[in-house]
Amino acid sequence: MSKTGLPSVAAVTLGCKLNYSETSAILDRLSAEGWQLSSVEKGADMIVVHTCAVTKQAEQKCRQKIRKLIKRNPKSVVVVIGCYAQLQPLRLSGIEGVHGVLGSNDKFRTGLYREIFETRPEAPLVQVSDVCGMEEIHAGYSLPEHSGVSRTRAFLKIQDGCDYGCAYCTIPLARGRSRSLPVAMIVERAHALAASGYREIVLTGVNIGDYRSEGTGLAGLLRMLELVELDRIRVSSLEPDILDDRLLDVVACSQKIAPHFHVPLQSGSDRVLKAMGRRYTTAVYRERVMRAVESIPDCAIGIDVIAGYPGESEEDFQDMYRFIEGLPAAYLHVFTCSVRPGTRLASQTASGERKLSLPADIERRSGMLIELGIRKKSSYTAGFLGKERKVLVETCMRDESGRVCCSGYTSNYLQVTAAAEGFEGDAERLKGMLVPVVIGEMDHDLNLQGRLLF
């Protein structure tokens, strides 16, 4: 127990930004009910592990992390929540040392944490609601600022679930149908986060481009959020068919909305896109991306792509490679295809309708895409050498020589480390500030170095 006699709680989050925003919201609720916020390192009475199930590798990392936490914190009550908990609760409850497993909806029911902590059941408490009937939507946001602690970037959930039903994806199974938080709640929370010291808000969700509430879509919501006292508003992943002219025009005319879009491609072959159940063609994708970079200065486009989708031929892969090669991408996120239980793809591979790619082909194709991504990032990043850009400082410290070094991101998501030559004040004071930086060089790892201007 904590020094106050009340239980302490810490959380470990794996997976997407949406998970992080929801973890903070859960901790905020527990704190309001009397729990003391702590850390794993301090041996919190309860440790909440927020899991991801997007790939087999993600699930494996979750299991490894859970076992490691239990080994290092044998006296802590461990509760596992999130998408993996929703989809595979019995597998997780079978891990020795797990006291409770809560699904996608149940993780927000704070009374369950108290029940698990007080009873410490011999068999883990498993509470997983039927996702098909789950129409509730719960808030997700970063924790309010603690006194004396400077913060920079907050996550704010605006939407949950997805109606797209892509053949390979478990998200609809884990999170249900698309539904949106009310406009007034989002705007109120954004004002609260800004008042608590955050300078940038990242809008999160499963498919935030599908945001719809009270007749307001994402473009309308962004216009309302521009009135909040923030330096930046950043959108997370957007489906290409939703990256329309209205949304692009809002971003192009804004001084606050970051010129940065993460636009999942998944495949550059129209044949494979159709098999995946994606809602666009390569021609539509290219048109949307080109419209973005032509209308928004410095616009950074990040791309998700899957290597080795079952049934992907060498011709399909070469089509994808050439297609991406011709796109003005700032970076790539490369995934190897993971056949998830319960998906349409799992049924197709089990029946032989779609054949699994050979491991050697997957490895080679993935390696080629990773190398292409490095070249894309190098080319995009090099275009900013010698230029002045504003950086939102996230970390700042004085090195052994006494020189102050700051690190943060530009609006178009370039990470920059900058020296504050001649700065004599408290280095921590720079944290959370939007400062002008001249970008000087890029090292072999594509990291940018610069000089802070006063």
What is the spatial distance between Cα 9 and Cα 43, in angstroms, rounded to a whole number?
A: 9
Q: Which two tokens stand for residue 95?
A: 């891990």
Amino acid at 223: R
The mean per-residue pLDDT over the stretch 2-10 comes to 80
Average pLDDT over residues 4-24: 92
Q: What pLDDT shows up at residue 248?
A: 96
Do residues 96 and 198 both lie within one domain?
no
What is the 3-class SS of 4-31, one letter each residue?
CCCCEEEEEECCCHHHHHHHHHHHHHHH
Nearest to 245 by CA among 215, 288, 216, 209: 288
Domain annotation covers residue 142: no
Q: For residues 397 and 404, is the Cβ–Cβ distance under 8 A?
A: yes
| Composition of the chain by helix, strand, coil, percent to 5 | 35, 25, 40
Is 376 part of any domain?
Answer: yes
- 265: pLDDT strictly greater than 90: yes
pTM: 0.93
Residues 271 and 177 in one domain: no
Bridging pattern class, strands 232-235 and 260-262: unpaired
User: What value does the mean pLDDT take over residues 427-431?
Assistant: 81
Q: What is the DSSP string of 402-450?
A: S-EEEEEE-TT--EEEEEETT--S-GGGGTT-EEEEEEEEE-TT--EEE
Res 355 pLDDT > 70: yes
Structure tokens at 48: 């909440």
- Cα 107 to its chain centre, rounded Å, is 19
Of the residues 349, 382, 415, the one at which a domain ends: 382
The domain total for the chain is: 4
pLDDT at 207 over 90: yes
Same domain, 296 and 348: yes
Among 367, 374, 264, residue whose Cα is nearest residue 307 = 367
Give the CATH number for residue 349: 3.30.750.200
Looking at residue 6, what is its pLDDT?
82
What is the C-alpha to C-alpha distance for residues 99 and 110, in angstroms, rounded to an integer?
15
**Per-chain mean pLDDT for the chain:** 93
Q: What pLDDT was estimated at residue 3?
A: 61
pLDDT at residue 147, rounded to an integer: 43
Q: What domain range is 419 assigned to?
A: 388-452
- Asked if residue 3 is part of any domain, the answer here is no
Give the lowest-confidence range in 128-137, 164-173, 180-189, 351-360. 128-137
| 145 occurs within a structural domain | no
**What CATH number does the domain containing 430 carry?**
2.40.50
Q: What residues have CB less than 8 Å from 146, skipping those under 6 apart?
A: none
User: What is the tens place of the pLDDT at every residue in 116-130?
Assistant: 999 998 899 999 998
Give per-residue pLDDT as tens, 76-87. 999 999 999 999
Please give the share of the chain, as a percent, with pLDDT higher than 90.
Answer: 86
Mean pLDDT to the nearest integer, 307-322:
97
> How much is the pLDDT for 236?
84
**pLDDT, tens digit, 9 for 90 and up, residues 361-413:** 999 999 999 999 999 999 999 999 999 999 999 998 887 777 888 999 999 99
336 plus 432 within the same structural domain? no
